[in-house]
A and B are shown apart, each in its own frame.
Chain A
Amino acid sequence: MEGAATIADGIMYISSSDGMVYALDTNLAGIQKWRSERLADRLWTGPVVMGEAVYVTTLDGRIYGLSREDGELLEWFFEAEAGFASPPAIYRGVIYAGSFDRRLYAVEIGSNVSMWTFPVEGVAGSWFWARPVVSEGVVYAGCLDGKLYAIEAETGEKLWEFDTGDPIVASPVLMDNSVVVASEAGNVYVVNLETGEGERIRNPENDDRPTIGARIRASFCVHNGLAYIRAEDNKLYVVDITRMRIAEGWPLSLAAGR
């Protein structure tokens, strides 16, 4: 299984390397509710749910919709010129996903052409790998070129960009009037939604070192002002966003037997 799972109404939807999407009933110990037909050679991005459908992007450049009830393919699908690198995000009937051609696509469900692609002219420095987040009409998309872009959801116009200096692999997370973004090098930033100005959370032991002394590739979550981040050293870090520091008593090793 690859990519994050999505849970809606007790059903977990997850993509698999065999190219299929599975629906598992979490109320019945994960019993398989349905399995889609093979959508691609392999599926590496997690699906997203909206209404009565599940949407998934594929490495060969398609966006498919599946019925939540039985996994049947919907009539509509979208085809891009290059493969999709990121899982999709949906906002007001529009799917946002990053592609290997170094663009972010906005595709209205049911349409065969994209609403817009970002950048409007040219391409970004690298792939949009992380799932974008959308709120209040703005798309926040992290890119492997190290920049977090804020993009007007309707038009694709860039509002601001924040440069972390390192690839952004994990999806950014919204918190209050900020967006928390982590770079692959292990730095965690808090960026103001309005202005795009950000501040790095410093390493308590050494200011010159990254916030966390390990690579960050997995997406993380924020709850009650705390960001829970699993790093590549197999430890769980907790970063206090409001106090701009690593919470005391962490990290916790996730290695078996420890």
Chain B
Amino acid sequence: MEAWNLIIANPVLNVLIALSHFLFGQFGLAIIALTIVVRLITWPLNRRQLQSTKALQDMQPKIQELQKKFAKNQQKLQQEMMKLYKEAGVNPLGCLWPMLIQFPIWIALYQAIMGALATTPENLLDLARRLYPWDVVNQAIPLNSHFLWLDLRSSGDIALAIIVGGTMWVQQKMTQAPAVDPRQESTNRMMLLMMPLMFGLMSLSFPAGLGLYWAVANIIGIITQYFMTGGWGYLKLRPSPQQAPAKGK
């Protein structure tokens, strides 16, 4: 636990507080700034994923060709599709890696929000031992927990939950390539709904500050995807036509 605090939790906490000092005392703006910093750090991974998405979109004519050619042979179609993906260096699974890497950041951010936005004098006292001896950090205490319509310490904001879920859905939809395997397609559709729903519900349970981070991260993701891939990706593209069942099934 000490190692976690030393290496991740306390740096995130102090950077957040220092940022709010420079951003007009607004902790909400500090969260947004931190989100941008985290996205910049994970940019190499995100960039590779976006390039993969772009390549997948460019491959659509070839994919449709294969679908016509092997309409009656699912197995052969899958093999040819995987060969095509491999040649193009594409990973149709989506943006899981950047999300996984951000897990420690989410945990640290949750702890930072709860620590920095002390709800009791005891919380404030506990905060004292985690602060660095920087003037910008100490002078920022106590922090302003209000940002726009949100109380960043509180949970249960439905509007925020809808924004988190909605933006996540859009971002996923933009990058999720249609699968050839009906089972894979079914799994993809389920994930497309489950992940936004899960994050929307989570943002109802956690402090609004964390929900704000997720919403901003999603919006940044949508914007970068739009410009990297030249448009709305699979959000705009029509779904692939239904595959004819293979003989004997």
Where the two chains meet, the residues of A that have a C-beta atom closer than 8 Å to any C-beta of B are 2-3, 44, 59-60, 81-83, 85, 100-102, 123, 125-127, 129, 144, 167, 169, 217
| Contact yes or no, A83 B142, CB < 8 A | yes
| Contact yes or no, B125 A81, CB < 8 A | no
A32 to B133: give the CA distance in the assembly, Å: 43
* Candidates A2, A81, A100; contact of B121 at CB < 8 Å: A2
Contact with A along B128-146 (1 / 0, CB 8 A): 1100010100110110000
Cβ of B121: which chain A residues have Cβ within 8 Å of it?
2-3, 44
| Contact yes or no, A100 B142, CB < 8 A | yes
Cβ of A169: which chain B residues have Cβ within 8 Å of it?
125
| Contact yes or no, B128 A129, CB < 8 A | yes
A2 to B119: give the CA distance in the assembly, Å: 12
A2 to B142: give the CA distance in the assembly, Å: 16
Per CB-CB distance, the 3 closest pairs between chain A and chain B, nearest first, are A100-B141, A82-B139, A59-B142
| Contact yes or no, A144 B139, CB < 8 A | no
B84 CB to closest chain A CB (Å) equals: 60
| Contact yes or no, B142 A125, CB < 8 A | no
| Contact yes or no, B138 A101, CB < 8 A | yes
Cβ of B129: which chain A residues have Cβ within 8 Å of it?
144, 167
B15 CB to closest chain A CB (Å) equals: 18
B4 CB to closest chain A CB (Å) equals: 22
Task: Show 21 residue pairs from A and B whose CB-CB distance is below 8 angstroms, ordered by the A residue.
Answer: A44-B121, A59-B142, A60-B142, A82-B139, A82-B141, A85-B124, A100-B141, A100-B142, A101-B135, A101-B138, A101-B139, A102-B138, A123-B135, A123-B138, A125-B133, A126-B128, A127-B128, A127-B138, A144-B125, A144-B128, A167-B125
A144 to B133: give the CA distance in the assembly, Å: 12
Where the two chains meet, the residues of B that have a C-beta atom closer than 8 Å to any C-beta of A are 121-122, 124-125, 128-129, 133, 135, 138-139, 141-142
A85 to B122: give the CA distance in the assembly, Å: 12
Task: Taking A44-B121, A83-B142, A144-B128 as given, write out 16 further A-B residue pairs in contact, using a Cβ cutoff of 8 Å, ordered by the A residue number.
Answer: A2-B121, A44-B124, A59-B142, A60-B142, A81-B139, A82-B138, A82-B139, A82-B141, A100-B139, A100-B141, A101-B139, A123-B135, A127-B138, A129-B125, A144-B125, A167-B129
Cβ of A125: which chain B residues have Cβ within 8 Å of it?
133
Beyond A2-B121, A44-B121, A125-B133, whether A167 also contacts B128 by CB under 8 A is yes
Cβ of B139: which chain A residues have Cβ within 8 Å of it?
81-82, 100-101
A123 to B122: give the CA distance in the assembly, Å: 23
| Contact yes or no, B141 A217, CB < 8 A | no
A129 to B131: give the CA distance in the assembly, Å: 15
A1 CB to closest chain B CB (Å) equals: 11
Cβ of B138: which chain A residues have Cβ within 8 Å of it?
82, 100-102, 123, 127
A59 to B124: give the CA distance in the assembly, Å: 11
A44 to B142: give the CA distance in the assembly, Å: 12
A169 nearest CB neighbor, chain B only: B125
B48 CB to closest chain A CB (Å) equals: 44
A102 to B121: give the CA distance in the assembly, Å: 17
Cβ of A123: which chain B residues have Cβ within 8 Å of it?
135, 138
B117 CB to closest chain A CB (Å) equals: 12
A197 to B121: give the CA distance in the assembly, Å: 31
A2 to B124: give the CA distance in the assembly, Å: 13
Cβ of B125: which chain A residues have Cβ within 8 Å of it?
129, 144, 167, 169, 217
A127 to B130: give the CA distance in the assembly, Å: 12
A81 nearest CB neighbor, chain B only: B139
B162 CB to closest chain A CB (Å) equals: 28
A59 to B119: give the CA distance in the assembly, Å: 13
A174 CB to closest chain B CB (Å) equals: 24
Cβ of B135: which chain A residues have Cβ within 8 Å of it?
101, 123
B77 CB to closest chain A CB (Å) equals: 63
B131 nearest CB neighbor, chain A only: A126
Cβ of B142: which chain A residues have Cβ within 8 Å of it?
59-60, 83, 100
Cβ of B124: which chain A residues have Cβ within 8 Å of it?
44, 85
